[in-house]
Amino acid sequence: MLVHAGKCRLLLVQGDITQQHVDAIVNAANSRLAGGGGVDGAIHAAGGPDILEDTRRKYPNGCPVGDAVASSAGRLSAGYVIHTVGPVWQGGQSGEAEALASCFRKSLQVAVDLGCKSVAFPAISTGAYGYPRDLAANVSLKAVLDFLKWHRQPDEVRFVLFEEGVFGAFAHSLELLMK
C-alpha cells in the first residue's frame, strides 16, 4: 500500500525488515540497547556483532523510552540502524501514545540529520511490549504523516510489517487516516 504526503511516499509492506534496501533501518530496541528478541534479535543476527559493538561504545548508558540513536548497520545493506525504545503497554494511561509518537519523530529526525532519504520502520511496541496493534497503527502512522507534512523529508518511509495481522491493522488504519 502506497500513499503520498506531498512529495514524500509512505509505504506499507509485509516482510522482514532486515531484507530491506533503504538508507536506515529502525530497530525496536530496549533501553539498555542490549539486543533481545523479536525484530531486535533479527537485526543483530543479520547485521552481525558490529552493531552491538558500535552502540556499546557510543551509548554506554543506553537510550530512554521515546528517544532514538544511530549506529552502524554492520552487514545490513542499510547505511545505519536507528535504535528507538518504544513504551511498554500499561493500559494506555501512562503516556504510551506520546512515547510511541516520539519514537517516530525522533527516529525520523536522526535519519534526516544523517542525510537518509529512505527509512524502514517495524511496528514498534506491538510485540513483546504489548501495545494493541490497531492503536499502535493509528499513533505510528499519524506521527509519520505529521513529520512528512512539516519536514517534507525523507523521500520514503516504509513500514515493514512481519505479521499479516499487524499489516492488516496498519492498512486499515491508513485507509481511515487518508479518508
CA distance 36 to 47: 14
Considering only 33, 123, 135, 143, the residue that binds ligand ADP (CB under 6 A) is 123
Q: Active site residue: 16, 23, 40, 50, which one?
A: 40
Scanning residues 63 to 122, which ones bind ligand ADP (CB under 6 A)? 86, 122
Considering only 44, 127, 137, 144, the residue that binds ligand ADP (CB under 6 A) is 127
Starting from the edge strand earliest in sequence, which strands make up the sheet with 156-161, in order? 2-5, 8-14, 156-161, 118-121, 24-29, 80-85, 68-72
Residues 6+ apart with CB under 8 A from 149: 5, 6
Written as nine digits, the cell of 15 is: 516482510
Residue 113 annotated as catalytic: no
**CB 157 → ligand ADP: shortest distance, Å?**
15
In this structure, are strands 8-14 and 68-72 parallel, antiparallel, or unpaired? Answer: unpaired
Scanning residues 138 to 157, which ones bind ligand ADP (CB under 6 A)? none
Q: Determine contact, residues 140/124, Cβ cutoff 8 Å.
A: yes
Residue 125 contacts ligand ADP per CB under 6 A: yes
> What are the residue numbers of the active site?
40
Q: Note the residues at the interface with ligand ADP (CB under 6 A).
A: 16-18, 28, 38-40, 42, 86, 122-129, 160, 162-163, 166
